Amino acid sequence: MTPVVTQVLLKKKKQQTLARSMATKEDPTSEQQMYYKDVAGFFIFLLVVFTVLMISLYA
């Protein structure tokens, strides 16, 4: 029974190290996409604020 437990623990440790190595890699394309999403969200926010301001000034 001991070798099975050892194999399971070693496999689990390998999976954790692989997950850590994949998590530490930085993908520049995903950073760029996040930047574009932030800019787009900011412009949408400005559009909504401007629209509410125009409606409130018109009334």
Residue 52 has pLDDT above 60, yes or no: yes
What is the SS3 assignment for 38? Answer: helix
Which band of pLDDT confidence, cut at 50, 70 and 90, is reported for residue 16?
A: confident
Residue 58 has pLDDT above 70, yes or no: yes
Which band of pLDDT confidence, cut at 50, 70 and 90, is reported for residue 10?
A: low
Average pLDDT over residues 24-48: 86
Task: Map out the domains of the chain as residue ranges.
Answer: 2-58
Q: Tell me phi and psi for residue 27, to 5 degrees.
A: -100, 115
Residue 46 has pLDDT above 70, yes or no: yes
Distance between CA atoms of residues 45 and 48, nearest Å: 5
